[in-house]
Structure 1
Amino acid sequence: MAIISALAVYFVIWWLTLFVVLPIGLRTQEEDHDVVLGTVASAPTRFRAFRVMMTTTVVSALIYGGWYVASAYFGISVNDLPRILPEFRK
């Protein structure tokens, strides 16, 4: 696989993992009973950007590594997934 393709796949995995990691450990202002005037109660009390980015990077690297091993060493690809819709032939 070309390096650009590998980076594109990793970026997609990283971006999807980010949305999974974001709510982990989140404490809202409402939970801490400290709602700042002008913000919504569901806003985070402290946003830990570095922790979220590092966790996302590590988890997505593990997922990408698993995908790479499955595709490079075992030959598993997207074509091995079952088809839901039948193929149309002319």
Structure 2
Amino acid sequence: MKWTSALAIYLLFWAFSAFFVLPFHGRRTSDDQTPLVRGQEPGAPAAFRPRRILLQMTIVATVAFGLYYLAYVNGWADPDVLSGRA
């Protein structure tokens, strides 16, 4: 696999990891800590931490890509078999 292909696949894993990471953030809503400001969504998290979310996305994507690459190198995810050509 070329390094550009590996980078593209990793970036896809990284982008899709947001769908796994984000539902676990914001368990404490604003009404639990402070009263709502006019126009504020009641379900919005009390403290938004983008660096923490990006770090967790990176960890999840790295683990998922590592598993994918391990399967690719060992032939468990052979593109010919998966496409039906072999």
Query: Which bracket does the TM-score occupy, shorter chain normalised?
Result: 0.7 to 0.9
Q: 1:57 maps to which residue?
A: 58
SS state at 1:21 partner: helix
The residue identity in structure 2 corresponding to 1:5 is: S
- Number of aligned pairs? 82
| TM-score normalised by length of structure 2 | 0.79
Q: After the TM superposition, which residues 1-90 of structure 1 pair with which residues of structure 2 at under 5 Å, given as runs?
A: 1-26=1-26, 27-32=28-33, 34-72=35-73, 74-77=74-77, 78-81=79-82
Higher relative contact order (CA 8 A, sep 6+): 2
- The structure 1 segments of at least 4 consecutive aligned residues displaced by more than 6 Å after TM superposition are none
TM-score by length of structure 1 reads 0.76
> Offset at 1:20?
1.1
More helix by share: 2
In structure 1, runs of 5+ residues without a counterpart are 84-90
Cα RMSD (Å): 2.1
Cα deviation digits, residues 41-86 of structure 1 (max 9, x gap): 12221111111111110111011001101111x2022554597xxx
